[in-house]
Chains A and B, each alone.
Chain A
Amino acid sequence: MRRAFCAAYFCPKVGKGGEIVSQPLIQIEHLSKDFPSASGRITALDDVSLSIEQGEIFGIIGMSGAGKSTLVRCINILEQPTSGSVLLDGRDLTKLPKWELYRVRRSIGMIFQQFNLLMQRTALQNVCFPMELAGVEKGLAAKHAQELLELVGISDKAGAYPAQLSGGQRQRVAIARALATDAKVLLCDEATSALDPATTRDVLALLKDLNERLGITIVVITHEMRVIEQICHRVAILDNSRVVETGRVRDVFANPKSAAARRLIYPDDAEQANEVKGRAYRVVFDGSSSFEPVIANMVLEVSQPVNILFADTKDIQGQAYGQMVIQLPESTEAAGRMLSYLRSRGLTVEEAG
């Protein structure tokens, strides 16, 4: 049974961009969480519903205080939700007895911003730790741990203590440790927030690689959009204890519907550009056009200048995402030609403001 399950892991039915057809692995339904405080109860999560598919990398982004950390802790019931349910493979974790919960948690790996390694144990012993808890025989555990360290690329550091390792190396040990008991899901709580940009990229690349190679489902909690754009297939935006928007990363990027999403995706000046009345148009790059100098080509074709009020585009996997706000020339004829040029390139153009 277990074997068969593992075999299914290695040929995941993950389409590019995360279109998966099976039933959701994690289903969060009407989840709420209050905390008692001196001034009454504080709501950390308010009626949150999400479904996370087998094999995808799902991002949950929000400003600090939005409830991200509480949400991820409700997935493995480190926090008991006030109401609502969390289904893993169809089983409601909020209703499990304690001893069952201890067992289920072994199939949910978790990594943290501060790594949380055992400081008095070597890297190898840290990776052995969850197997020790699960009662795996010592020799077997050590062998598996060594393989996992190899998988995350630091097999030469097996005998080093965390204090001797860099931040990136520590997070790799933590990832190996989270995988040690054949986790189906990997929860990442701000896992790269304590790392420098280059190390962040490396660790994210490792997570993406593990997702592709092992088919492991990854839930990424972050406040940084670049983390989402680098590895996530789908994203949920959490604002003020509520999920305000969910969708594929490219769709949310191209067409953020909520104010919270716009705030996260575009810096303040995007909103300011919107305030410029008249002739200002928003050009949305949603990945359907390749990364070509479309505005420059348009200017050459119409031979009229445009004023770029705001631009924030990104090259994600060879395709253009983001938006630009341009002010078209006064001549309605030229403006019309520009609009039709842009639309002919498959871009969405709408009046801004």
Chain B
Amino acid sequence: MLSNVVWNMIGKGVLETLYMTLVSTFFAYAIGLPLGIALVVTDQEGIRPQTVINRTLGILVNLLRSVPFLILLIAVQPLTRKIVGTTLGSTATIVPLVIAAAPFIARLVESSVKEVDHGVIEAAQAMGATPAQIVWKVLLPEAKPSLVVGSAIAVTSILSYSAMAGIVGGGGLGDIAIRYGYYRYETEIMLITVALLVLLVQLMQETGMWIARTLDKRTSKKTSNAR
């Protein structure tokens, strides 16, 4: 049916999609994780209330999150060109993906970390923990399962956003789906790429949930954990 050339192209598309998704997720977390923690720590109920900083960060995050991704994709092109040297291809797509995903991740991290029981934080303070120790030794480890669930959501969202970048020649499966399936009416190729995207999302989501379940010690799994 489909020629080897097409299959090669699809194979390359899968790799490009994975590349964009994973690298973007990494950089988005590098920005979003500290941002999310800062949102919790500087909150009025947080361990270091800083109303002005908290409000400013909150507004910045909301601002970035309210820009439609397609607009952002085009609007940041000058910046992309400065960083990557081009606005085409999968590496160039990473820039808008990171900018769009980081504030989203910040909110995910914020809600995960806020789930940590206040009593546990108070206990750590009573033991003489510094705010930095509370972040590293209480908030992050205690929120870990929830953070992993969040990262599964983040990575699948980034994957679907990466497909959108096909509109401006972003590379990956989305690019193939638009160029062949949409512009050239090659329904078969479009269906295959879409099916592959569904499969990837499914796989990442399930893996994330599985890791989170394995990490979480809050449910009493007597057989697997008791020594």
A residues sitting closer than 8 Å to B (CB atoms) are 76, 78, 101-106, 108-110, 112, 114, 116-121, 129-130, 132-134, 158-164, 174, 177, 181, 187
Q: Which label, helix, strand, loop or mixed, suits the secondary structure of the A interface? A: mixed
In the complex, which of the residues A101, A109, A163, A174 contacts B220, with contact meaning CB atoms closer than 8 Å? A163
Given A119-B142, A132-B137, A133-B133, check contact A106 B222 (CB 8 Å). Answer: no
CB distance A160 to B225 under 8 Å? yes
Which residue of the partner chain B has the closest CB to A165?
A: B220
Write the nearest CB–CB distance from A36 to chain B, whole angstroms: 12
Write the nearest CB–CB distance from B13 to chain A, whole angstroms: 39
Given A112-B119, A129-B137, A132-B137, check contact A120 B217 (CB 8 Å). Answer: yes
In the complex, which of the residues B120, B129, B220 contacts A161, with contact meaning CB atoms closer than 8 Å? B220
Which residue, B127, B220, B227, has most C-beta atoms of chain A within 10 A? B127
In the complex, which of the residues A78, A119, A160 contacts B218, with contact meaning CB atoms closer than 8 Å? A119
Q: Which label, helix, strand, loop or mixed, suits the secondary structure of the B interface? A: helix
B residues sitting closer than 8 Å to A (CB atoms) are 117, 119-120, 122-130, 133, 137-138, 141-142, 144-145, 215-220, 222, 225-227
- How far, in angstroms, from A161 to B220 measured CA to CA in the complex? 8
- How far, in angstroms, from A119 to B139 measured CA to CA in the complex? 11
- How far, in angstroms, from A160 to B224 measured CA to CA in the complex? 11
Given A106-B128, A118-B142, check contact A133 B137 (CB 8 Å). Answer: yes
Which residue of the partner chain A has the closest CB to B144?
A: A120
Given A112-B123, A120-B141, A133-B137, check contact A163 B218 (CB 8 Å). Answer: yes
Given A112-B123, A118-B138, A132-B137, check contact A160 B226 (CB 8 Å). Answer: yes
Could you say which residues of chain B place their CB within 8 Å of the CB of A163?
217-220
Could you say which residues of chain A place their CB within 8 Å of the CB of B215?
120
5 tightest Cβ-Cβ pairs between the two chains A and B: A159-B227, A105-B128, A116-B123, A116-B119, A110-B126
Write the nearest CB–CB distance from A271 to chain B, whole angstroms: 37
- How far, in angstroms, from A287 to B132 measured CA to CA in the complex? 52
CB distance A118 to B129 under 8 Å? no
Write the nearest CB–CB distance from A193 to chain B, whole angstroms: 13
Write the nearest CB–CB distance from B132 to chain A, whole angstroms: 11
- How far, in angstroms, from A221 to B220 measured CA to CA in the complex? 31
Write the nearest CB–CB distance from B191 to chain A, whole angstroms: 44
CB distance A161 to B122 under 8 Å? no
CB distance B137 to A164 under 8 Å? no
CB distance A117 to B226 under 8 Å? no
In the complex, which of the residues A104, A164, A174 contacts B128, with contact meaning CB atoms closer than 8 Å? A104
Could you say which residues of chain B place their CB within 8 Å of the CB of A160?
225-227
Could you say which residues of chain A place their CB within 8 Å of the CB of B144?
120
CB distance A161 to B123 under 8 Å? no
Could you say which residues of chain A place their CB within 8 Å of the CB of B137?
129, 132-133
- How far, in angstroms, from A121 to B210 measured CA to CA in the complex? 19
CB distance B128 to A161 under 8 Å? no
Which residue of the partner chain B has the closest CB to A76?
A: B126
CB distance A130 to B220 under 8 Å? no
Could you say which residues of chain B place their CB within 8 Å of the CB of A76?
126
Which residue, B120, B122, B126, B215, has most C-beta atoms of chain A within 10 A? B126
- How far, in angstroms, from A110 to B123 measured CA to CA in the complex? 7
Which residue of the partner chain A has the closest CB to B121?
A: A116
CB distance A78 to B127 under 8 Å? no
Write the nearest CB–CB distance from A160 to chain B, whole angstroms: 6
Which residue of the partner chain B has the closest CB to A174?
A: B123
Write the nearest CB–CB distance from B125 to chain A, whole angstroms: 6
Write the nearest CB–CB distance from B145 to chain A, whole angstroms: 8
In the complex, which of the residues A105, A114, A120, A158 contacts B142, with contact meaning CB atoms closer than 8 Å? A120
Which residue of the partner chain A has the closest CB to B126?
A: A110
- How far, in angstroms, from A174 to B122 measured CA to CA in the complex? 13
Which residue of the partner chain A has the closest CB to B217?
A: A161
Given A160-B226, A164-B222, check contact A119 B128 (CB 8 Å). Answer: no
Which residue of the partner chain A has the closest CB to B127?
A: A130
Write the nearest CB–CB distance from A195 to chain B, whole angstroms: 16
Can you name 23 A-B residue pairings with CB atoms under 8 Å?
A104-B128, A105-B126, A106-B127, A109-B126, A110-B127, A117-B120, A118-B141, A119-B117, A119-B142, A119-B217, A119-B218, A120-B215, A120-B218, A129-B127, A133-B129, A159-B225, A160-B227, A161-B217, A161-B220, A163-B217, A163-B218, A164-B226, A181-B127
Which residue of the partner chain B has the closest CB to A75?
A: B126
Could you say which residues of chain A place their CB within 8 Å of the CB of B122?
78, 112, 116
Could you say which residues of chain B place their CB within 8 Å of the CB of A162?
217
Write the nearest CB–CB distance from A263 to chain B, whole angstroms: 29
